[in-house]
């Protein structure tokens, strides 16, 4: 069975500092990976999807199959980036498995 | 184009009761997935409906059941409610084409409290 692990429940950084939210996965097939974000009092929304290789709001994520990781990175954090971030894996049946989430706090 | 909507927003029930939660898909989507999100945890997959049939199920007991209607809206039914069923229930819709996957778009959720 697939599994997604986000080892940090809370990550606190200062504005302008680099950010890396870690995500590791286990899956026997070819993974499709996502990052979802949930801002305060808002619904869960897609941040980025590895297959599209886009950079959204300055965030990027690279799939590393050797290390089974899909870490989310941003070179300079902004206060508006404070939110809950969830890494998720989609299997061949179109079903998502989520990690436990990391709360990012960006301090002024 | 309207997004995914869910009703009701909040619900309070007592142990042993039954509950029905509703979800309207985003326009053009044919697949609905339901997730349970307990406090402090990531969403957990309950089941998915595609073309009015259950298309996959997570590790949830049979008292969790669902329906999908011809207009692709969906219901989640939970019988014999237990205290541990207290959670945020999320609905997500997507367009699933054979051999392809699509992003799932989430509704705002229904907060269920079981007393």
Q: Are B89 and B76 in contact (CB under 8 A)?
A: yes
Which pLDDT does position B103 carry in this prediction? 86
Task: Please say if the pLDDT value at position B13 is more than 80.
Answer: yes
Task: Please say if the pLDDT value at position B99 is more than 70.
Answer: no
Q: What's the token pair of residue A6?
A: 């986000």
Chain A interface includes B106 (CB < 8 A): yes
Q: What's the token pair of residue A88?
A: 């998720």
Which pLDDT does position A54 carry in this prediction? 73
Q: Which are the contacts of B18, defined by CB distance < 8 A and separation ≥ 6? A: B77, B78, B79, B80, B81
Q: What is the pLDDT of residues B26-64, one digit of tens each?
A: 888 889 999 999 999 999 999 999 988 998 999 999 999
B42 to A34: CB separation less than 8 angstroms, yes or no: no
A38 forms beta bridges with A84
Q: Which are the contacts of A41, defined by CB distance < 8 A and separation ≥ 6? A: none
Which pLDDT does position B1 carry in this prediction? 53
**Residue of B4, B31, B43, B109 best to disrupt the A interface, most CBs of A under 10 A:** B43
The confidence band for B101, taking pLDDT boundaries of 50, 70 and 90, is low
Chain B interface includes A60 (CB < 8 A): no
Query: What is the CA A101 to chain-centroid distance, rounded?
Result: 8
Q: Are A77 and A16 in contact (CB under 8 A)?
A: yes
- Cβ contacts (< 8 Å) between A88 and chain B: which residues? 42
Which pLDDT does position B49 carry in this prediction? 93
From the CA of B52, how many Å to the nearest CA of chain A?
16
Write down the mean pLDDT value for chain A: 93
- Cβ contacts (< 8 Å) between A90 and chain B: which residues? 101
A93 to B48: CB separation less than 8 angstroms, yes or no: yes
Task: Please say if the pLDDT value at position A76 is more than 80.
Answer: yes
Q: What is the pLDDT of residues A5-40, one digit of tens each?
A: 999 999 999 999 999 999 999 998 888 999 999 999
Chain B interface includes A17 (CB < 8 A): no
Closest chain B CA to residue A34:
B103
Q: What is the pLDDT of residues B62-90, one digit of tens each?
A: 999 999 999 889 999 999 999 999 999 99
Which pLDDT does position B98 carry in this prediction? 67
Length of chain B: 115
């Amino acid at each position: 069975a697939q599994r997604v692990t986000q080892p940090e429940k809370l990550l606190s950084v200062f504005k302008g500092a680099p950010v890396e939210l870690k995500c590791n996965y286990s899956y026997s097939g070819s993974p499709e990976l996502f990052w979802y974000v949930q801002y305060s009092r808002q619904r869960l929304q897609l941040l980025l999807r590895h297959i599209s290789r886009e950079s959204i709001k300055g965030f990027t994520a690279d799939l590393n199959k050797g290390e089974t990781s899909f870490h989310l990175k941003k070179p300079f954090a902004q206060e508006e980036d404070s939110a809950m971030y969830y890494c998720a894996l989609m299997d061949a049946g179109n079903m998502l498995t989520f990690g436990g989430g990391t709360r990012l706090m960006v301090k002024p | 184009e309207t997004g995914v909507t869910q009703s009701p927003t909040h619900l309070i029930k007592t142990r042993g009761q039954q509950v029905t939660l509703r979800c309207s898909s985003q326009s053009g989507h044919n697949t609905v997935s339901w997730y349970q999100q307990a406090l402090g945890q990531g969403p957990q997959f309950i089941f998915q409906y595609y073309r009015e049939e259950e298309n996959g199920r997570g590790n949830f007991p049979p008292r969790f059941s669902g329906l999908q209607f011809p207009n692709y809206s969906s219901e989640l039914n939970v019988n014999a409610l237990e205290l541990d069923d207290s959670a945020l229930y999320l609905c997500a819709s997507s367009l699933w084409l054979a051999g392809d996957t699509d992003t799932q778009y989430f509704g705002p959720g229904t907060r269920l409290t079981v007393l």
